[in-house]
Structure 1
């Protein structure tokens, strides 16, 4: 193979085009963590919409060093994350006098955690995932995995920031209504289990929407469960939610509705989790699987632009988690529809179907 590479003629124009794409990708790669720094330091929040600010003015407002803020503004403007408003072409120090602003869209993307367009969680999770590159290099050779709890603390916070706006936009408005009889049961009063609940965003959203129902949130990551309890109390729904530190396969009791939000594909033994859900499900109950959008063939995957970030995240986070313990099924977030439906049927569900979908998710309904 090496000799073939050496002797094959190179199309210079195609090579230059390829190199240009690589430079663009590298620019995005270094900009993402810098945007996270800006969000963490309150720089985006300190920029009022459509108000022009110099680096010095923004630095004073945020209580930061002007020289770093000046370079940060330039980097953000080059990626279109802030808007250059002029003033940087004349005078003795043009970059010091340059002014920047946020458009309404930029402000929403970086400062409104309720918006489906909020990108801070996406960026923070990407930056956190790359902290595992050394470990990932090792497991490529060993075939072992990296457990969820081994990630940097930023990953757990970022995951909540990433998914919560999506759940706010879709969970009670379209996902639950697409399931057979579930919304009616929740409105009357049902017992619900939320498996892999993390910080509890999905559980709390459901508890707020369905005040006659009670909820149990389970997650094996104890620090996340502690945060979930705090969030539930702050939202005044703590009396109707019980959060437990437990694995998905440890689910017990009887439930009218069981949900898995963006977590089944991360589990080393998703089959055991689905079997536990089947045992715990009431006779007329339903299970909802919320899974990342994925496709069954390579050709379908290559045609979808959002698959690129999903496949990268799968390799950095989801697949290593799925290989971290026995039996290490290793679904990854690009498993496709057919394998998920097959797992559900093998776990004993007689009815497994696609209920609905959104831009980033597939919603499965499983019936006993």
Structure 2
């Protein structure tokens, strides 16, 4: 079986994530190809799309959100994701059990004695009018019946697990600060959520396998599970396995992939790329060594924005006042400093749309 080096996997990931070369794909198609974008911090998808799409305009994503063609909702890993309306409706039922299990496990003590089905029925009754509500408003409507759980816990159970909801604009619009208002997903999108498949069939799971590999492969089944949070996909993998090809990585893991998916040469040059917080190009794997060193893994879950140099996480970045500040994780060569500064200046211009104080590269942390 062919062994793919870490560098080969890096190039494949970057290509499929539109980070090797910016894509001309429309924003809707890019979000669909990426299987959604992690979006608990509302402004981060704009940076993720700017780094991936040629001539990206924030208004294009705003129009998709207000036009109900993309939506913010809890999905993979119980995290808020920006996904297409079609994927939200097709995938939500498949994630239902995982979402419930994760919330109930996290707040086992606080929710002791609470019947989730009763809470779900009461919550659906309150939201039946389709009117948007904040989590606090929803909890207030139910608090008399369930006074024991802390309001935050009861609210998270409702909107992150029991009731499929969309987080409505202006939340998630460009340069807009807005609280979370929730509405039932089906009423917001005007279409019903696809029902759960019979036990002996898993079309949604099979679609997830194919779509994940197209955007993240070659990858192991453990990577797939880490990305979506679903434990029950072995049957789906088995059902599509004959469509796939296999490799091994340098650690000996079996990797699955789509036969005609791109796998660039390991020495393919890679431009500097700036990634937003919690980007799935990093978080979408159990083994993240293809893109980030083990010593820096904590950055990927701490919400640090990172810079890719030669395809690997090599710095963090942030904006302080009107200045884009880059902190290298290793010493930069003169060429690195030039290319990082150039791409950083382009990002600073995108973020401010006006004159800015430019880019500062601080001393390496190592």
TM superposition score normalised by structure 2: 0.25
> Hey, which of these two has a bigger chunk of helix by percent?
1
Q: Point out which structure has higher relative CO (alpha carbons under 8 A, 6+ apart).
A: 2
> Larger C-alpha radius of gyration, 1 or 2?
1
TM superposition score normalised by structure 1: 0.24
